[in-house]
Structure 1
Amino acid sequence: MSLYDDAVLVLKSYEDQEELRQAYLDHLQSHPDGMWKSCHSGHVTASALVIDPERGRVLLTLHKKLRLWLQMGGHCEPDDATLADASLREGTEESGIPGLTLLSGGPVRLDRHHTPCAWHFDVQYAALAPAGAVEAISDESLDLRWFAYDEVADVADESVVRLLEATRARL
């Protein structure tokens, strides 16, 4: 199965945000290359909110280009077999934490937003940090920091706050 096929299946089985979910599916139907950065009208991306529920905190990255505190995430790559794989790869690369595991149940949220390269049709997962996890900043970040749940709204935009709320509800 291709990454494109996996994305369609994941989106068809996602039960929330019906109108936005359909917009993702419509985009993919109109753009067979819609999984890749080369699709300039927009492309599917995968992200992971790295969370440490035992300590009530999340790890956010200060994105180098956007200069915003965000969850880990980015473009799909040819070696990604599934959206979940892409999310976990991005989470691991940008957090520097090995051993992340995705929260069961598939994506937590969808978020479509415009970036300097194109529209991102982001499929958002949550990744659980293992006990004793130590983060390591990547070259894609200006900073990497743990925030208590109640601090997130003070540093991040509404999309990250909604992702955290949805993740906590799933927990």
Structure 2
Amino acid sequence: MRRILLAIFSILVLSCEGKAQDSKKAKTYPVSKTEAEWKAELSPAQFQVLRKKGTERAFSSKLNKIEEPGTFVCAACGNELYETKHKFDSGTGWPSFDRPISEKNVDYRPDRTGGYPATEVVCAQCGGHLGHVFNDGPKATTGKRHCINGVAMEFIPKAD
């Protein structure tokens, strides 16, 4: 009986380990390039943020001041991410939005690299690091603050 229980336990453990290993596999994205290709296409600052999960200096992005109607797209692949109508001044020094254009356009990942639990926001088309989402946004809307690196995006004004 002991051997049977041990065998069942072993099977369950191996089954769980296989699932854990599967969940650790990196997600593949529709736009996929080698590190050398990304490096050749992006500016050094864009590469550092989008591919190496860096953070630009607060208040350094020209996108902070944009208020005209338009769309913010991923600087790496052009995926539409945010609209000006959902942008707000959070006072943090990074472009902030209360929601993406569509939840299908961004992915979320747990992130503990800063020493505390956070939620990373990445582009759903290329996996580029955009920033983080926090629960301290405008209560009148979603309550979320997508704190996004300006260098990770480009702005496309709305055509008249």
TM-score scaled by structure 2?
0.27
User: Bigger radius of gyration, 1 or 2?
Assistant: 2
